[in-house]
Amino acid sequence: MSSERKNLLIGPISPAADGALYQQIVDRIKREIAEDRLKPGTALPSFRQFAEDLLVSVITVKRAYEELEREGIIYRRQGLGTFVAERGDDRSREAKLAAAKELLRNGFREAAEAGLNPDELAELAREILEKKNEHQRH
């Protein structure tokens, strides 16, 4: 049985949000690490316990952990549990950055296809950034 409950708050996981449920968990944990709320060496909940907390299947959490382990962001120690890797924050940031570049590339391509020139594109990017900052201030 679980000895001590480890709490990890990553916000609700929902089929209404973008991406598969396991991917949402992967993204949220990366964000927690990238924003320094989850530090290297921190123990993560067991996947059965985390499944209970998030109200998703055990397989979903297991898959999310496997994905994070593959990217070197977390690691498993037999019998001890799962932990945030040393430099897991860097790797998390790298992975996020790679994803962001890919999304931006796609966005720019769409915009180019819609007939925007580079200046208009840069202007659009600035507009989006400003709007985002406003949201964050709420």
Partner 1 sequence: MNTNAIEIRKLVKNYPAFTLGPVDLTVPRGAIYGLIGPNGAGKTTALDMIFGMGRNDSGTIRVLGLDHRADEVAVKQRAAYVSPDLNFQVWGKVGKAIRFVRGFYPGWDDACCTTLMHAFHLDSGDKITTLSFGAKTKLSLLLALSRRPEILILDEPTTGLDAISKQQVFAELLKAVEDGERTVLISSHGLSDLERFTDHIGMIKNGKVLLEGRTDEIVDRFRLAEFFSTNGTTFLNRAGLVILRRTENRWHALLDQNSDAHSWLQSHGATDLSLTRVTLEDLFVALAKEEDK
Binding site for partner 1 (CB under 8 A): 1-2, 15, 20-22, 48-49, 51-52, 55-60, 63
In the complex, least distance from residue 85 CB atom to partner 1, rounded to whole angstroms: 24
Comparison of 20 and 98: residue with beta carbon closer to partner 1: 20
Rounded to whole angstroms, the Cα distance separating 37 from 59 reads 25
Nearest distance, CB of residue 40 and partner 1, angstroms: 27
Q: For partner 1, give the closer residue by CB, 14 or 117.
A: 14
- Residue with Cβ nearer partner 1 (57 or 117): 57
Nearer to partner 1, 15 or 132 (CB): 15
Phi then psi for 5, rounded to 5 degrees? -80, 130
**Measured between alpha carbons, how far is 60 from 56 in angstroms, rounded to an integer?**
7
Smallest separation (angstroms) from partner 1 to the CB of 48: 5
Strand (E) positions, the chain? 43-44, 74-77, 81-84
Distance set, CA 138 to CA 35, 127, 132 (Å): 19, 17, 10
Question: Please, what is the minimum distance in Å from the beta carbon of residue 53 to partner 1?
Answer: 9
- Contact between 49 and 91 under an 8 Å Cβ cutoff? The reply is no
